[in-house]
Chains A and B, each alone.
Chain A
Amino acid sequence: MTGFEGFTLDHYKEVMQDTRLLIIVLNTFIIALLSAAISTIIGVFGAIAIHFMRSKSKQTLLTLNNVLIVSPDVIIGASFLILFTIVGVKLGFVSVLLSHIAFSIPIVVIMVLPKLQEMNDSLIDAARDLGASTWHVIARVIMPFIKSGIFAGFFMALTYSLDDFAVTFFVTGNGYSTLAVEIYSRARQGVSLSINALSTLIFLFTVLLVIGYYFINQRNNRLEDKGAK
């Protein structure tokens, strides 16, 4: 990053040829997608259960839910490390996946809960009246209503997982590595321009994600305004 000689795509070529790096990128994406998917499922059901709960235990459950969001990464990472060591889970793909799922769930809940609160409870009563089973109520009445919340939750979980450094850093063993951890190790060894190339690619991808999320949001808002569902 010192002398500027001219434009070159050499560093990008270097990035593409670095197979270890590509494997790491793949790992990062797999973890992000898997953790976002699983945490969305668990989170949605958790949100539904919380919504229909009585007031006293509801408050405690909500506070517990927010603990992971508010805590600093270091504490989450350290505590998960202890947890995994005691339980005996090997540090690697499994531990990273479990940690990502763990801190994505509260995010999903926070995104879905407001949508649930917006929903008119008499919709459920009406469905029951017409003879729907519990599963039907959930699948045909509740889910479509909170669809935008579910998407938002999924996206946020995805972003948090892709971005995360601290927690992954604590629970990753020697072999496994995600993009963020890899960049950190390389950055500590010194400046290397292939990191710059990699960073630009990641940056572009993040921008694409954000734009995509923005457009989905706009579309949802427009649909809701028009009254179409």
Chain B
Amino acid sequence: METRTRNIYLVPYFLWIALFVIAPIILIVYYSFFNVEGAFTFENYKKFFTPVYMKMTLSSFWYALLITIISLAVAYPTAYLLTKTKHKSLWLLLIILPSWINLLLKAYAFIGIFGTYGVVNAVLETVGIGNRQILFTDFSFIFVSVYIFIPFMILPIFNALEKMNPSLIYAARDLGASSMGTFRKVIFPLTLDGVKAGCIAVFIPALSLFMLTRLIAGNRVITLGTAIEQHFLVTQDWGMGATIAVFLIIIMVAVMMLMGLRKRGLDLVKR
């Protein structure tokens, strides 16, 4: 295709990239150097390294890690079972369906389920354990987050399991490996790509969840996302918000490079 005409078509797209991809990142970094009064300062970065913010970062990390590990533990067996069923498309559709529903609606539903007068407490009362405060606890937050992220973890693992050649398993068994051994040495390493993609797809959003923390966990859990949103929309301290955002971006890039995934992983995550 002639370069000249091709470049004409490229123009809107290029414009969009420059405006909405490159510019915002530069702006965020730029803003992180300003404090509330508007003076150029490194104050925000200094503030970030104080115990308050460091504790928040670490706890946010810890929650995200917990959520990722638990969803992995639940998703892997599920994906494995999925490959053995007959009506794969149907089951897949059923599992993916919740992820098509608006995130807010699911969170809202859980407010109803976990609330003081909700279903779970009603069951607990009839069983005799009595009314418990479930909402606004760590448990409910992790539970709902795992529920929301499970489809994102199942899909890449399922795709990876599907792509794997089953005769490899037969060969391993033939050579005398036990079930556990086959899993550890054959199945798991080959699906590692899918696991990595799934972990990235869960860990990074888990760090930046803010709406969920507000609705389900109240103010007990503060993730990096909540802090950013707080600074931008409530306290109007855009400088500090931008600083936290910069760190979030750095963590995100670090995680992705650590996992060593690029375009290939994205194929597995595609819905």
Contact = CB atoms under 8 A, between A and B. Distances in A.
Interface of A: 1-3, 42-43, 45-46, 48-49, 52-53, 61-76, 78-83, 86, 101-103, 105, 110, 124, 134, 137, 156, 159, 162-163, 165-166, 169-170, 180, 183-184, 187-188, 191, 195-196, 199, 202-203, 206-207, 209-210, 214
Contacts of A64: 17, 21-22
B6 interface: yes
A205 to B, nearest CB: 10
Given A46-B12, A74-B245, A79-B25, 19 more contacts: A1-B115, A42-B12, A46-B9, A49-B7, A72-B248, A75-B28, A78-B241, A78-B242, A79-B24, A82-B24, A102-B16, A165-B102, A187-B108, A188-B215, A199-B109, A202-B102, A203-B101, A210-B97, A214-B93
B13 A45 contact: yes
A187 B103 CA distance: 13
Contacts of A203: 101, 105
A43 B45 CA distance: 38
Given A49-B10, A52-B1, A75 B16 contact: no
B16 to A, nearest CB: 6
B115 to A, nearest CB: 7
A104 to B, nearest CB: 10
A184 B25 contact: no
A125 B208 CA distance: 48
Given A70-B252, A75-B249, A134-B5, A191 B115 contact: yes
A184 B211 contact: yes
B111 A48 contact: no
A90 to B, nearest CB: 17
A140 B57 CA distance: 54
B228 interface: yes
Given A52-B1, A206-B102, A78 B97 contact: no
Given A64-B22, A72-B252, A49 B97 contact: no
A210 to B, nearest CB: 5
B2 A134 contact: yes
Contacts of B266: 66, 69-70, 110
When A and B form their complex, which 5 residue pairs have the shortest distance between CB atoms, in order from nearest? A46-B13, A79-B24, A72-B208, A2-B117, A102-B20
B204 A72 contact: yes
A78 B238 CA distance: 9
A156 B270 CA distance: 11
Nearest to B28: A79
B39 to A, nearest CB: 17
Contacts of A69: 266
Interface in B222-240: 225, 228-229, 232-233, 238
Contact of B215 (A159, A170, A187): A187
B20 A1 contact: no
A137 B2 CA distance: 12
B144 interface: no
Contact of A74 (B20, B102, B118, B248): B248
B77 interface: no
A71 B252 CA distance: 8
Nearest to A59: B263
A221 to B, nearest CB: 12
A195 B207 CA distance: 28
A70 B204 contact: yes
A45 B176 CA distance: 55
Interface centre among B27, B207, B248 (most CB of A within 10 A): B27
Contacts of A183: 102, 104-105, 108
21 contacts: A1-B112, A2-B117, A49-B13, A63-B262, A64-B22, A68-B21, A70-B252, A71-B249, A72-B204, A74-B245, A82-B31, A82-B242, A83-B19, A103-B20, A166-B211, A169-B211, A170-B232, A180-B102, A183-B102, A183-B108, A209-B100
B157 to A, nearest CB: 19
A122 B73 CA distance: 48
Contact of B263 (A62, A180, A191): A62
A38 B205 CA distance: 27
Given A46-B13, A134-B1, A76 B24 contact: yes
A155 to B, nearest CB: 11
Contacts of B211: 165-166, 169, 184
